[in-house]
């Protein structure tokens, strides 16, 4: 036996503590991509519903009522809606939890910040995903309290969403419109990068596909922003009243 005669090295003799196996960051991201895409599908459905406001109070309120009857008579009234709400809640919570884990990881990955703030190379949208996400979450909570539970709605007439919306965006309540606008723009930014990022996370890998994915993400975000903002601004300008 020749060896094992080396001088002990304190630093090296100690076996490196095996760190706990972390959940795969790519798996977390795939989860975020899937939940994110589900939420975007919902946003589009929701937007189409919103646009019914331009067809008048009857159409809009009827649409809102119809939502409660989806799935009947196989499902009792409103059951589908609750299933969807449940699904959306799981998606939102899951999306946020995964984002939080990854955000904490990212923060721990760079404990000392650069003295010279790195120049921005990537897009503004990419860098504002996290704060944008927080703003969107706060807005969603407010939005549910406002137009679903009607807790914060000035009119708060159950079964008359058209009236509630019109009351909400009345010119005197400009701050609500402003908050709504900010939130929608935040969603726009979030999706502009988020949609591309989701596609990439799910495996998009061709340079040409990247151009298409980025353009599509931009278009879908713009359509969504315009679609959603058209409602309050129509109310504000009196187009809808």
Partner 1 sequence: MPEFWNDGDPIADTAAPDGPIETRWERRKFSAKLVNPANRRKLTVIVVGTGLAGGSAAATLAEAGYHVKSYCYQDSPRRAHSIAAQGGINAAKNYRNDGDSIYRLFYDTVKGGDFRARESNVYRLATVSVNIIDQCVAQGVPFAREYGGLLDNRSFGGTQVSRTFYARGQTGQQLLLGAYQAMERQIGLGNIEMNARHEMLELIVVDGKARGIVVRDMVTGEITTEMADAVVLASGGYGNVFFLSTNAKGCNVTASWRAHRKGALFGNPCYTQIHPTCIPESGTHQSKLTLMSESLRNDGRVWVPKAREDKRAPGDIPEAERDYYLERIYPSFGNLVPRDIASRAAKNVCDEGRGVGPGGLGVYLDFADAIGRLGKTAVEAKYGNLFEMYQRITGEDPYETPMRIYPAVHYTMGGLWVDYDLQSTIPGLFVVGEANFSDHGANRLGASALMQGLGDGYFVLPTTLGNYLAAGPFAPIPQDHEEVQKARKTVEERISTLLKVDGDRTVDSFHRELGHIMWEYCGMERTEEGLTKAIGLIRSLKEEFWQRVKVPGTGEQLNQNLEKAGRVADFFELAELMCIDALHRRESCGGHFRAESQTPDGEALRHDDEFSYVAAWEYAGDSGKPTLHKEQLEFEYVHPSTRSYK
Partner 2 sequence: MDIQVRVWRQSSSEDKGRMVTYDVKDISPDASFLEMLDVLNEKLILDGDDPIAFDHDCREGICGMCSMVIDGVAHGPERATTTCQLHMRHFKDGDVIDVEPWRAAAFPVIKDLVVDRTAFDKIIQAGGYITAPTGAAPEAHSTPVPKKDADLAFEAATCIGCGACVAACPNGSAMLFTAAKVAHLGLMPQGQPERDTRVIDMLQAQDDAGFGGCTNAGECTTVCPKGIPLTLIGRLNSDYRKALRNR
Whole-number Å distance between alpha carbons of 109 and 114: 13
Sole window of 41-49, 82-90, 109-117, 131-139 interacting with partner 2 (rule: CB under 8 A): 109-117
Out of partner 2, partner 1, none, what residue 29 binds, judged by CB under 5 to 8 A for its kind, is partner 2
**Nearer of residues 5 and 24 to partner 2, judged by Cβ:** 24
Nearest to 213 by CA among 37, 43, 45, 92: 37
Q: What x-and-dash track marks residues 78-107 binding partner 2 by CB under 8 A?
A: ------------------------x--xx-
143 Cβ contact list (under 8 Å, min separation 6): 183
For residue 109, state whether it binds partner 1 (rule: CB under 8 A): no
Q: Which of 1, 10, 13, 109 binds partner 2 (CB under 8 A)?
A: 109
Q: What x-and-dash track marks residues 4-43 binding partner 1 by CB under 8 A?
A: xxxx-x-x--------------------------------
Number of residues that bind partner 1 (CB under 8 A): 9
**In the complex, what is the shortest distance from the CB of residue 177 to partner 2, in angstroms, rounded to a whole number?**
31
For residue 129, state whether it binds partner 2 (rule: CB under 8 A): yes
Q: Which of 122, 158, 172, 175 binds partner 2 (CB under 8 A)?
A: 122
Out of partner 1, partner 2, none, what residue 14 binds, judged by CB under 5 to 8 A for its kind, is none
Q: Give the footprint of partner 1 on this chain (CB under 8 A).
A: 1-7, 9, 11
Q: Give the footprint of partner 2 on this chain (CB under 8 A).
A: 19, 21-30, 102, 105-106, 108-119, 121-123, 126-127, 129, 193, 196-197, 200-207, 210
């Amino acid at each position: 036996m020749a060896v094992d005669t080396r001088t002990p090295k304190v630093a090296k003799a100690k076996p490196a503590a095996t760190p706990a196996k972390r959940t795969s960051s790519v798996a977390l991201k795939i989860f975020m991509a899937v939940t994110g895409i589900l939420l975007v599908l919902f946003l589009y459905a929701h937007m189409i519903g919103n646009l019914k406001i331009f067809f008048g109070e009857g159409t809009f309120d009827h649409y809102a009522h119809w939502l409660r009857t989806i799935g009947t008579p196989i499902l009792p009234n409103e059951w589908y809606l609750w299933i969807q709400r449940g699904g959306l809640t799981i998606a939102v919570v899951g999306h946020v939890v995964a984002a939080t884990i990854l955000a904490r990881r990212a923060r721990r990955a760079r404990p000392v910040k650069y003295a010279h703030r790195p120049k921005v190379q990537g897009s503004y949208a990419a860098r504002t995903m996290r704060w944008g996400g927080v703003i969107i979450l706060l807005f969603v909570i407010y939005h549910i309290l406002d137009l679903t539970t009607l807790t914060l709605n000035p009119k708060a007439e159950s079964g008359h969403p058209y009236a509630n919306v019109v009351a909400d965006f009345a010119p005197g309540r400009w701050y609500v419109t402003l908050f709504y606008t900010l939130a929608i723009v935040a969603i726009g930014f979030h999706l502009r990068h988020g949609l591309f990022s989701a596609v990439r996370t799910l495996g998009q890998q061709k340079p040409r596909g990247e151009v298409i994915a980025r353009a599509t993400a931009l278009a879908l975000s713009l359509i969504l922003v315009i679609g959603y903002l058209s409602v309050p601004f129509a109310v504000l300008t009196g187009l809808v009243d």
